[in-house]
Amino acid sequence: MSVGRSPVLGLAASIAVAGLAVALPGDDEAPQDTAVRQTVSLKYRALKNFDSVLPRETWTNVTDRIAIGDGFDVHQQGPLKLRVDTNGDGKLDADVKGNSGYLRLVGKTDDGETFAYGTRFKITGDHYSFAASGAMCGKLNGISIQVIDQNNNGIYNDFGQDALVVGRAKGATFLSRVVNADGELFQIELSEDGSELSYEPFEGETATLDMTGSHDSRGKLVSAVISNRGGEHHFNVARERGAMQVPAGDYRFVFGFLKKGEETAQVRTGKMGPLKLAAGSEREVEWGGPVVAEFDYDVRDETITVRPNVAFYGSAGEEYHTFKPDAKSPKIIVSDKKSRKIYLEGRFGGC
């Protein structure tokens, strides 16, 4: 039995199964003086074409109200229409029609301050759900950053829950207490409304981690997020080629995203062990190919039944999943181990 190549992974591997062979497919402003604590302002930008890759994208069910600021009334009229109060005056004034949509909401905080909130909508089951579609934008030591309300509660300083994009990267990490901006580490604080960011140089012990140099895949590594044991430090180490400086400590790989053309795949921890980064250490992780598949199967006479519980693991134990478009998981080919004669082939849909 063999498995052909995945367009996203571009990886190859093999497994022996009951006499059959299984093969798997293979910013530009000058930095400010960072000797003392700096404070900068961030401004909100609604993003109709939201394209950041979030480590934990969250869709919140829409009931009768979107609980951001003083709130926005909503009313679902049938399976494919949602009426929304976009300015918080209690009157339904805009529609979301079909399976998805976008609206810019403008409301007031409890303190009477006006705010904007870009919102994506989609059908989840028989109800609409919403997610943030905007970011608080500014610069940290001259490097562009975006803070995204990943948990959709209107608060921007939920460290470890909200999301952060640094520089021109598409992949976001969880909002971190320490940020690597152009190779330098900074300790940050953020106001609840996300409008004010303060930062100063990080003074703790550091280590370097390289998860790009030895990653084996033909797909582009858009995101590779690591989080420390305490849940305060988070980094997208795929943001730039080569090693990245991070605070020393014990980390684990929590999220990855690969893209090749229209093909995408996500990556999760799977069987990958902890990443122990001692002070002053340098570590390079070899991961990606070769990939192996694990699944249940039955052989009865000349019939082979493969159950759709396939799991794809990379060389460091990371697990590849959610292949898109649908039914574009790596192809499974059943063949004779000696003659290489192919008996059947197919993919698991919806992986």
Q: What is the mean pLDDT of residues 51-63?
A: 96
CA-to-CA distance for 286 and 211, rounded, in angstroms?
A: 7
Q: Categorize the per-residue pLDDT at 334 as very low, low, confident or very high, splitting at 50, 70 and 90.
A: low
Cβ atoms of residues 8 and 120 within 8 Å: no
Q: What is the mean pLDDT of residues 217-232?
A: 95
For residue 327, pLDDT beyond 80: no
For residue 85, pLDDT beyond 90: yes
CA-to-CA distance for 236 and 257, rounded, in angstroms?
A: 11
For residue 156, the model assigns a pLDDT of: 98
CA-to-CA distance for 201 and 280, rounded, in angstroms?
A: 17
Helix (H), strand (E) at residue 188: strand 184-190
Among the listed ranges 250-264, 305-319, 332-346, which one has the minimum average pLDDT value?
332-346
For residue 307, the model assigns a pLDDT of: 72
Residues with Cβ < 8 Å from 69, sequence gap 6 or more?
Answer: 88, 107, 108, 109, 110, 115, 117, 154
For residue 28, the model assigns a pLDDT of: 53
Cβ atoms of residues 13 and 289 within 8 Å: yes
Q: Categorize the per-residue pLDDT at 2 as very low, low, confident or very high, splitting at 50, 70 and 90.
A: very low
What pTM did the predictor assign?
0.85
CA atoms within 13 A on the CB side of 177: 10
CA-to-CA distance for 328 and 25, rounded, in angstroms?
A: 12
Cβ atoms of residues 334 and 345 within 8 Å: yes
